[in-house]
Structure formats: structure tokens, C-alpha cells
Amino acid sequence: MQTALQEKCNKHLNKIADLTAEVDSLSQFKDIRDTTAELERIKLDIERRLDDADRQINALRAQSIKNAEEIRSKARHESAELVRTVQIETDTLRRESNADAKSKRERAAALLDEANIQASAIIKKAEDSAEQIAGDAYRALKEADRLQSVIDALKNSVKGYGNDYVKPTYGLLDELAEMYSFEDAGQELKRARERTKLLVNSGRAAACDYVEAHRSQTAINFVIDAFNGKVDSILARGKTDNYGKLEAEIKDAFALVNQNGVAFRNARITDEYLAARIEELHWATAVHVIREAEKEEQRQIREQIREEEKARREFERAIKDAAKEEAAIQKAMEKMQAQLEKATEEQRAAFELQLSELQDKLAEAEAKNQRALSMAQQTKTGHVYVISNIGSFGENVYKVGMTRRLEPMDRVKELGDASVPFPFDVHAMIWSEDAPALERDLHRYFLRAQMNKVNPRKEFFRLNIEDIKAHVEGLGHQGSWTITAAAAQYRETLEIEKLIESDPVTAQEWTKHQLEYEPQLESDEDENVSD
């Protein structure tokens, strides 16, 4: 296609040259009327043909650039596939823990390094081929892309990065969770750093167009030092939540350093070295993410242990209290029986009524004791609760959790402590013989409605309460539901805010009341400390 277009363009250009020569030969007769008209016709024809040739040339250029880009894209895909294939093999080697595991890990690292070298060679060959096909147009396109990267980097340095470069880190964790622990990720970070050193030592970190070796090496050292200085300070700021921003900063440092290197015969950091330093960022972030995930898991385990311990103490206390109550009722019944035996006919009816009431209380105490004993023995029985806090989290946000306590409301009250400004409203308290399974089912069913898309352990969901109710009842669980949240303190707070805004007297009285309340709180705290 390119050859056909080029031949067509050449024909146009040859025709234009013939017409131009004809114009020149007729110009001496420009004062003759017919010749003048013919001259104008030929000029218009030339302009038309020039426009047509321009379009054909642009089409040829666009097609050449397209073909060049296709070659580059194919090369990138091939190189990425090569690295991915080797990565799978190296991961398999690293997972093995037999006697020669160390040698296999070393072989894995060597394989990966060789794969990266081959990938770079594939891309370099594709770049040369693309440049040969598209010529100046392709070089101009590459230069335009480079300059655009510099412009973007300068804009970011002025405006800041904001939220434009936020990237979720759950992808990092998903890739690593099954295979790596915190220590393993640290080892991978160490290997990534060793690879960057290897690229510098092997002369693949930077390049320069100086012919003289000394000048070339000086310029290369200059851009490597400049780039590494920027990247090291960027990596030092790594956290679990700023991977995307730091990646953008590294790419901007790459663009700016290479722009400054233009003055030194195009001294520049290579794409391979940029990729290696971004790989460092990848593993550094992975270390942070895995460490935080392990901390969160430990926190959840400690929380579960505390909750189980509270439930155990509650069961033990309930069993002890029920036993005491049974003993007291038994003693009262024995006393009442003795009185009944000595009672007259007139007193007997009253004593029998009291004895009947005591028997009912004894049955209640025995049932309570049996329930506490049963729940203590069964580790899965408990309540799944559905609660909301409009003042803290807004409308249609619900927490779905589980507790094994005999008094499940104690757990709800704990959740509404000083960490949130308003108490929770209870929409449902569902008893289940397998409360963990019911909770897990609800969490999975409403997975897409999770408020926190990063931490799956958070139990808040944004959805309609009717949807939760319908699913719970569809599973065969019955319970009392409150659809509309009272949110009493929150709604009362809104009214107080309106009054404070509109009535200075009310505002003054409320302020006075608060100021009187705070010293009392401090006094209570001091008493608690002294106790």
C-alpha cells in the first residue's frame, strides 16, 4: 500500500513539474487574453494538484506512522509476554523449598534478567524498524511525545499531583497474597535493587551520543546521578496509599532529566532503567501493603479474641448468676413449703399462689442457665446485627456484624463509643445457630455494596435496608425489623444548629451549658484516675 501511495505521489509531483514549466513558457504571452485565461486555468490546476499531493503525502506519512506504531506495539507485547512467561517460571522456582532451593532462586533471578535483556533487544529492533519505515515523521512523533512528557512533568511540578494519579494498591496485594509474606516481599525488593545496580554496572542504565568515550561516560554518570537522586527521595516517601502518585513522579523525573540531558549530546536514562526503578517502587509498596495487611489481620485476631473472651466471661457470669438465682428460689420454695404445711386453710391459698410464682421463676432461671450453658458450649451460635449511624455515615449506610454475647446490645453500645459522634440505631438483631456463616453470606452477597473497596474486613455497606431484609428472610431467618432509623441525637442536633443560627439567646445559653459541662467531665476523669 505504501509503495502504491508513493508512486501516486510521484506522478502528481511530476505532473506538477510539467505544468509549472508550461506556466513559465506561457508567461511571456501573459498580455494576450486567451493565454491569460489559459494561464489562470493552469495555475488553478497546479493548486488543486498540490492540495491533492499534500493529502496523498499526509496519508502516506500517517500510514507509515501507523505501521511503525503497530511494529512497536507488537514488540512491546512480545517482550512483555516473554518476561511474563519467565516470571511464571521464576515464581515456581522461588516457591520450591527443597535442598537446592538457593541455587534455583539464583537461577530464577538469572532467567529473569536474561528475559529483560531479550525484551529490551526486541523493543530496540522494533524501534529501528519503525524509524526506517516512517523516517522523519516517526522521529518527529517520538520527539513530540517526549516533549509532551516534559510539559506534563513541568505542569505537575507546578500544580502538584492531586488525585489524578491515585492507584488502588489492592492489585499489588492480590498478586502477592498467595505467594509472598512480608519477608518474601522484602527479598524481592532487595533483588529489584540489585537489578538496578546491575543495569548501571553493565552500561544499560543510560546512553549518550558523544563519540569520545570520556565525555560520553561523564554525561552518562551525570544523568544517572541526577535521576537516582530524584528517585531515591521519591521511594523514601513510599506508603500504602501513594503508589500511583510516586510512579508518576518517577516518570516525570525521567522526562525532565532526559530533557536536561539533551544539551549533553542527548545524554538520557534508558527505558529499561526507568522500568527497573518503577519495579523497585512496586516491591517497596508491596512491602508496605503486606505489612499493613498483616497488622490488620493481627488486629482482627486480637479483636476476635477480646470479643470471645468477653462472651466467655458473660456466659460464665450468666451461668453463675442463674445458679445463684436457682439456689435462692429453691431456698425460698423450701421455706414456703414448710410454711404451707403449717398454714391454716385460709392461709393455704395465698401460700400456694406464692409457691406457684416461685416455681415459674425457677423454671425461668433454669432456662436462662441452660441457654447460657448451651451458648458457651456452641461456638457458632450468636446474633447478626444490622445497624446504622446516619449522623456519622449518612443515609443508606449499614454495618452488618456478628456477636456471640448473651446481651448483643452491649456490642452495639461499644461500637457507638467515643469513636463516632452519635449512637448506632439497630434495624435488626437476628439469632442464628451459625452466626459466622450468616454474617459471611451477607457480606459476600452484598460484596459490591462495600463502602471500603480497599479493606474487605470493614463491615459497612451502602444499600437499601429492604434489600438486606429480603435476603435475610430469603435464607429462612426471621426477626423483628425497624426500617426507619430514629437517629434521635442527630436529628435533635440539626434542630439545635438551626436555633443557634437564628437565635443569639439560644446560642449563648447552649454555649454556657457546654462550658459548664466540660469542667464536670474533667472532674469525673480525675476521679476515675485516682480510683
Give yes or no for a contact between 385 and 426, defined as CB atoms under 8 angstroms apart. Answer: yes
The Cα 2–Cα 390 span in angstroms is: 66
Name the least confident of 38-42, 261-265, 428-432: 38-42
Coil/strand/helix, residue 382? strand
The full set of domain ranges for the chain reads 1-160, 305-377, 382-530
Burial of 401 by CB count in 10 Å (0-12 exposed, 13-18 middle, 19+ buried)?
A: buried
In the block, which residue shows the cell 545496580? 197
Give yes or no for a contact between 264 and 222, defined as CB atoms under 8 angstroms apart. Answer: yes
Name the least confident of 76-80, 204-208, 309-313, 504-508: 76-80
Q: What is the model's pLDDT at position 98?
A: 46
C-alpha cell at 421: 459522634
Which amino acid makes up residue 48?
R
The Cα 307–Cα 301 span in angstroms is: 10
Q: Phi then psi for 94, rounded to 5 degrees?
A: -70, -25
- DSSP H or E segment with residue 85: helix 33-95
Strands 206-207 and 268-269: antiparallel
The Cα 352–Cα 382 span in angstroms is: 39
Helices 488-502, 504-530: inter-axial angle, 10-degree rounding: 130
The Cα 115–Cα 87 span in angstroms is: 9
Q: What is the model's pLDDT at position 468?
A: 94
Strands 382-388 and 206-207: unpaired
Cβ neighbours for 169, distance < 8 A, ≥ 6 positions apart:
240, 241, 243, 285, 289, 454
- DSSP H or E segment with residue 401: strand 397-403
Check the CA dihedral 24-29-32-35 and report its sign: negative
Q: Phi then psi for 97, rounded to 5 degrees?
A: -125, 40
Average pLDDT of the chain, as a whole number: 75
Give yes or no for a contact between 285 and 243, defined as CB atoms under 8 angstroms apart. Answer: yes
Residue 473 is given by DSSP the state H
pLDDT higher than threshold 90 for residue 397: yes
Q: What is the model's pLDDT at position 528?
A: 47
Q: Please give the share of the chain, as a percent, with pLDDT higher than 90.
A: 22
Q: What is the mean pLDDT of residues 422-431?
A: 91
pLDDT higher than threshold 50 for residue 504: yes
The Cα 312–Cα 140 span in angstroms is: 74
Structure confidence by residue, pLDDT tens digits, 157-216: 656 666 555 555 544 444 444 444 556 677 788 888 888 888 898 899 999 999 999 999
Name the least confident of 28-32, 126-130, 343-347: 28-32
C-alpha cell at 424: 448506632
Q: What is the model's pLDDT at position 230?
A: 92
The Cα 269–Cα 260 span in angstroms is: 11
Q: What is the model's pLDDT at position 270?
A: 93
The Cα 458–Cα 467 span in angstroms is: 19
pLDDT higher than threshold 80 for residue 454: no
Helix, strand, coil percent content, the chain, rounded in steps of 5: 75, 5, 20
Structure confidence by residue, pLDDT tens digits, 349-395: 776 777 777 777 777 777 776 776 665 556 678 889 999 999 999 99
In the sheet that holds 460-462, the strands lie side by side as: 425-432, 382-388, 397-403, 460-462
The Cα 165–Cα 157 span in angstroms is: 13
